[in-house]
Chain A
Amino acid sequence: MQAAAQTPPAPRAATSAYFVNPAVDFALAGGLSIIVFLLVVVFRRPQRTDAIILAAAQLSWVVNWPHFSATNFRLYRSWENIRQYPLTALFIPWVILAVVAAALWSPQVLAPYFIKLFLIWSPYHFCAQTIGVTLIYLRRSGVQVRPWERRVLVSMVYSTLFTLLVRSEVKPETLEYYGIHYMSFGLPAWFLPVAGVLTVATSAGLVACFVLWCRRAGRLLPVVLLVPAAAQYLWFAGGWLWPSFIEFVPFFHSLQYLLIAWSLQLKEQRDRHDITPSRRFVLVESTRWYVLNIAGGALLFFFLPQWLSKGMRLPLPFTTGVFIAGVQIHHFFVDGVIWKLKRTTVSSPLMGNLHELLHPPAAPAPARGSS
């Protein structure tokens, strides 16, 4: 999910600041990761143990992988969508497939840099989603964001990215992903303190913006407005000394994505087929969407790499590493195109609320007779 490059048009009024309710939105928008981080710190469990790795791997089946599949579902579910983004839908998969094939063909030269590209793009994508989700909540809360305030938000989020990248790229060393060795950039060491200062300064700036928004609104705005950015700070900057927590960052990011994608799916489905809101509709449609995404995720991240490895007689870890990097780059690419908030087809359905999907709108009160 990515923020649009331009300032979005005047927002359509949302019925509520939340997609579901304050507690669920808080948790899925990043609050759960903040709670988990606090628990990890309080109970002093920084180690990335086998149990932690196993738990994160199991959650991948039901959250991380479906979140990638949800992108494909959104793009390919109808010809209407495919026609809207023809190059992205029909051309880009072949380009990425060609690059994946080249990487598989050249494990020593092309594969390491394909992995490196993926590992830079991935945190960038996290940041773009954080900005997008924050802007959605701001719009839902009726906050008009001025360009400079938006710049503060963007700077804060990208400064965490800078911190993360500098930390992994500052030493000249060979890093590893699925057994594929790639080189770091060996950035100058003084980048680290600079990144730290930038992150702290821009975070303070964002808090100041929040105070400003509250003063302008004349009320205390929902704290969920700051939650995605606060979570982002922990994911990339604050939590790095706690590997047990870092292991779950992709899971938290995926939860955030699924909340928005699920909400959009229900709203669009209801509008497209003019379905009467009901508990049954929400349950059936949510289940159908989620099951399809679990199946799609398993296909992309488990079955296809296995078949590819057997078919091409290549080592499974290597094939899996390259193939899932390709799947994820496709996800980043598509997300950058289909989630532009400046498009009303995207932003308008995101102003809905679960309540509207569960209950039909109340009938207008009958006019009182005057005779």
Chain B
Amino acid sequence: MTLRAALPPRRRRLALLAACALLPAAARAEPAPAPGPPPRVVTVVPRPTDRLATERIVLRTICGDIVIALYPDVAPQTVRQIILLAGSGVYDTTHFFHVDPSGYYLQLADARNRILPLTFIQQSLIHPLRAEWGPLRHVRGALSLAREPGRPDTALTSFLILRKDAPFLDKPGDTYTIFGRVEQGMDVVEALSAGRHSADGTPEVRLTVLQALVAGPQQLPALGLRGPQSPDWWLYNAQVAPVTAANERLDWIAAGGFLSSLVLAVAAFFLARRLPGSRGACSLCLLVVSLCGYMLLVLLTPASWTHAWIGVGLLALTLAVIRLLAFFDS
């Protein structure tokens, strides 16, 4: 039973919040543009089996559904992370941004470039993944994590779907993590790749992933999987709005808490200012105000792209808090 399937949306978000709190070390790393220490590579000892996980990832794209099976023994950490990301809605409204002109693969964009801004929780789930190199090869249907060239531990959320065998990607000592394969929907992959694209492989039509679901084998038939089709714009429009609402719900709850604390701290500040010798108390109130303001910035900025009034409010709030800080220690 998956997280997404087992819990109602609100409780699922709370569970993810708890999961997020348990992942501090994982969230710490950062893809590094500057030279750093040599990358740590975990080479998984080849096992005789490429057993598949019970969960499947279903990518509902504008051209149909793709069912992905995962290899938990070969790439355990990657598989756990992909299930977590898909279950928490990180892949919703991402897109395939690159169709290899030579026809080898179709590449999913980094989730940070999706239509809907990532929520606070979703952002906190993304972290660099260590390379997990196993016995699997880059063959048609394989899923391979994208990363920065020459830096195996920099994969985040982007991956490739191989359209034909690509042995040149199986470079000894510098290959890519293969974590799954397309179980159903290679024809959808081909439909996505068949559209017009520029010489460098950028599709002319946005190849959007409307939603990514985690499903057990018994749940698959109930999903009513769609075969290859031309881009379905009606579905595209119908899917984006509900996803927005679901993703933002938990951020709204947390933001409400911080906003209440901020209002209380401002009120306490103005009350304390009337009392003699309350310099320390006033300053403490202002610190609480500024920390709450910062957290509101963190939580609500992503929503400002879809609700302009939030952006206006956040800007006004930030300037007001900065103005209030002139009363600190005085």
Contact = CB atoms under 8 A, between A and B. Distances in A.
B112 A185 contact: no
Given A108-B27, A109-B124, A336 B326 contact: yes
Interface stretch (B30-38, B70-78, B200-208, B222-230): B30-38
Contact of B297 (A116, A184, A316): A116
Interface in B13-55: 24, 27-28, 30, 32-34, 36-37
A220 interface: no
A interface bracket (residues with beta carbon within 8 Å of B) = 35 or more
| Residue of B24, B304, B329 with most chain A CB atoms under a 10 A cut-off | B329
B263 interface: no
Given A120-B322, A183-B301, A315 B30 contact: yes
Contact of B283 (A87, A99, A124, A188): A87
Contacts of B243: none
B28 A116 contact: no
A179 interface: yes
Interface string A76-98: 00000000011110011001000
Contacts of A308: none
A337 B315 contact: no
Contacts of A332: 322
Nearest to B301: A183
A249 interface: no
A178 B330 CA distance: 35
A128 B301 CA distance: 25
A340 interface: yes
B34 A108 contact: no
A88 B329 contact: yes
| Residue of B37, B112, B311 with most chain A CB atoms under a 10 A cut-off | B311
Interface in B267-305: 279-280, 283, 287, 294, 297-298, 301-302, 304-305
Contact of A87 (B126, B308, B314, B329): B329
Contacts of B314: 185
Given A183-B302, A188-B308, A337 B32 contact: no
A186 B298 contact: no
B4 interface: no
Interface in B242-280: 279-280
B305 A315 contact: no
A165 B322 CA distance: 15
B81 interface: no
A73 B308 CA distance: 42
Given A5-B326, A187-B311, A314 B124 contact: no
B113 to A, nearest CB: 8
B322 A106 contact: no
B28 A106 contact: yes
B120 interface: yes
A238 interface: no
A95 B34 CA distance: 28
A183 B300 CA distance: 11
Contacts of B28: 105-106
Contacts of B328: 87-88, 92, 333, 336-337
Interface residues of B, number: 42
Given A87-B280, A87-B283, A313 B37 contact: yes
Contacts of A113: 294, 297-298, 301
A337 B329 contact: yes
Interface in A229-279: none
A302 to B, nearest CB: 15
A336 B311 contact: no
What is the interface of chain B mostly: helix, strand, loop, or mixed? helix
Nearest to B309: A188
Interface string A103-114: 001111110011
Interface in B198-216: none
Contacts of A165: 315
B325 interface: yes
A77 B296 CA distance: 36
A315 B36 contact: yes
B325 A333 contact: yes
A108 B123 contact: yes
Interface in A162-211: 165, 169, 172, 174, 179, 181, 183-188
A317 interface: yes
B318 A186 contact: no
Interface string A57-90: 0000000000000000000000000000111100
B315 A117 contact: no
Contacts of A85: 329
A121 interface: yes
Contacts of A347: none
Nearest to B286: A87
Nearest to B294: A117
A91 B280 CA distance: 11
A141 interface: no
A289 interface: no
A314 B123 contact: no
Contacts of A86: 329
A284 to B, nearest CB: 33
20 contacts: A2-B326, A87-B279, A105-B27, A105-B28, A114-B294, A120-B318, A120-B319, A124-B319, A172-B304, A172-B305, A183-B304, A184-B311, A185-B304, A185-B314, A187-B308, A187-B312, A188-B308, A315-B32, A315-B34, A317-B33
A-B pairs with the 5 shortest C-beta distances?
A185-B311, A107-B30, A315-B32, A315-B34, A172-B305
Interface of A: 2, 5, 85-88, 91-92, 95, 99, 105-110, 113-114, 116-117, 120-121, 124, 128, 165, 169, 172, 174, 179, 181, 183-188, 313-318, 332-333, 336-337, 340
Given A110-B298, A185-B311, 15 more contacts: A87-B328, A88-B329, A109-B120, A113-B294, A113-B297, A120-B318, A169-B311, A169-B315, A183-B302, A186-B304, A314-B32, A315-B34, A318-B32, A318-B33, A340-B326
Interface of B: 24, 27-28, 30, 32-34, 36-37, 112, 117, 120, 123-124, 126-127, 279-280, 283, 287, 294, 297-298, 301-302, 304-305, 308, 310-312, 314-315, 318-319, 322, 325-330
